[in-house]
Amino acid sequence: MTPNPKNRQLSPLSRRLALKTCASGVLLGAAGFGGAAWAQQQPLALSTAINRAGRLRALSQRTAKAYTQLTLDVLPEQSKDVLATAQRIVKTNLMELGRAGLSGEAASLLGVCSADVERLFGLVGGAPAASHLADINKAADQLLTSADHLTSALEGRSKTSAKILNVAGRQRMLSQRLAKSFMLIEAGQDSSGMRQQLDTARSEFVLALNALEAAPVSTPAIKQDLLQARSQWMFYQSALDGKDKMVARRDVATTSERILEVMDSLTGRYDAALKELLGSVAYDDTRYALLQSAV
């Protein structure tokens, strides 16, 4: 049984890791998916805990994406940085959630996530090899599932309006799942199931983006991020449909990182907005149920 992370004492290495992750903001900057102020000492607000748990879903797919890019020799230096950064952010998120005082089902689910992280990180260590891709994809999707269960459990403790935070956060995962599926197909993991995974992620991203644009919670900053997300989505679709394999691989690698940054910024803005508005806006449960059902 995996011990509950909230009962562990942070080692000096873990403390240094948290500080390093907060300070570095590798690739995406301190205000983006590199996340500033993640090592806060106070208990997390529920909306922020949902945000952190939701990030684990995206990071599972981002880890597998970056590893696959390395096997394909796609922007190798950037891909190494993405892989290393994803691992650092996962560890920091787990430490934050471990300090959040989770109990009951949420604490148990956090333990499952921790075990799934160890399994995935064990597989991506060492020199990249195409022979490991199937196992890495399986481990990444297992972490995605456990992180989604944790996120849903945390959301269940909140008012209905917190669903919009989960929907926005899930867009981060879909942006990476698309790229991961694309890269795996390019690496020879081509199957009807993998192509279905790519197509499903693509349609779900569009559905969720439409729903966010129609949602009643909004600020000028949220509107600006939604405009950027729509613009980046157009570039992303072009990259996914590219005919020149080498160019398409490079463009998917770079565009998936950019849209991840935009969606993470948007999720953070919803997190901030909901700290003030939580409970004051009623949402259409049917619309959002469609977005929550598929992982």
Question: What are the tens digits of pLDDT across the range 215-264?
Answer: 888 899 999 999 999 999 999 999 999 999 999 999 999 999 999 999 99
Q: Which residues, 6+ apart, have CB-to-CB distance to 272 below 8 Å?
A: none
DSSP 234: H
Maximum Cα–Cα distance across the chain: 52
Lowest mean pLDDT among 44-58, 72-86, 108-122, 218-232: 44-58
Name the token pair of 106. Answer: 């949420």
Between the alpha carbon of residue 21 and those of residues 9, 92, 147, 212, the distances in Å are 19, 7, 20, 29
98 vs 30, more confident = 98
Nearest in space to 97 (alpha carbons), one of 55, 36, 143: 55
Contact 292, 152 (CB under 8 A): yes
Lowest mean pLDDT among 29-33, 93-97, 116-120, 265-269: 29-33
Cut 0.85: pTM above it = no
Distance of CA 164 to the CA centre of its chain: 15
DSSP 195: H
What residue type is assigned to position 104 of the chain? G
